[in-house]
Amino acid sequence: MWVRRWAAKPLVFVLCLLPALRLAAGAFGLLGVDLGADPVKLMLHTCGNWALKFLLITLCMTPLRDVTHSIFWLRFRRMFGLFAFFYVILHFTVYLVLDQAGKVGALWQDVIKRPYITIGMLAFLMLIPLAVTSTGKMQRRLGRRWTTLHRLIYPIAILGAWHFWWQVKKDIREPLLYACILAVLLGYRIFKRRDAIAEFAMARFRKTNAV
């Protein structure tokens, strides 16, 4: 391989950090980076966009493992998930501190009044337990419950894609693309577990129809 295995993780880590570093350079007027006429909007959109991208990238790791028959991809899954969380925190912070001038009351009003903010907030809150329990130690401690908890990634990704879709006024091409990618990633999982799902449905059917 052209990248040595030990170098892959640090390299991917730096690559994942680049969008945030670019924004930081622009915010501090470094390296000639310009954030344009509306820097707050650009920061908000860039972080939201990368948060969603990282959620989808995280969900790509298992299908990649299956297709390539290599567990190489799973080494990056936690890192990508944590980067999704990192960009959501930045996204939320830009929104609260720069867009709403740090007014928690204004944020709360938005959460109540604007449905796309409500679902964004819900996705953000649901990501917190996943980030907190992302360590190997927590994985061992929680055992099977860890796997169940981390299935929250699916509704989180759905809420994230929906949040994007809902706020777009005219051009739905980008949110549509993300929604399609997500549909393929979730569809793949349903297809993989079709036997178990059918068995579960049959068991439920038998139970509810038992005399």
Which stretches of the chain bind ligand HEM, using CB under 6 A? Answer: 44-45, 48-49, 51-52, 88, 91-92, 95, 117, 120-121, 123-124, 127, 156, 160, 163-164, 167
Choice between 11 and 128, CB closer to ligand HEM: 128
| Residue with the two structure tokens 């990704």 | 157
Choice between 113 and 140, CB closer to ligand HEM: 113
Q: Minimal distance in Å, beta carbon 91 to ligand HEM? A: 5
**Of 137, 176, 133, whose CA–CA distance to 151 is shortest?**
133
**CA 94 distance to own-chain centroid:** 17
Residue 144 corresponds to which tokens in the numbers above? 């099977």
Residue 153 corresponds to which tokens in the numbers above? 């990634």
Q: Closest residue to ligand HEM, Cβ-based?
A: 48
Sign of CA dihedral 140, 145, 147, 151: negative
Q: Minimal distance in Å, beta carbon 70 to ligand HEM? A: 28
User: Measured between alpha carbons, how far is 66 from 96 in angstroms, rounded to an integer?
Assistant: 40
Choice between 81 and 160, CB closer to ligand HEM: 160
Q: Minimal distance in Å, beta carbon 129 to ligand HEM? A: 13
| Residue 21 CB neighbours (<10 A) | 13
Q: Minimal distance in Å, beta carbon 109 to ligand HEM? A: 11
Choice between 33 and 107, CB closer to ligand HEM: 107
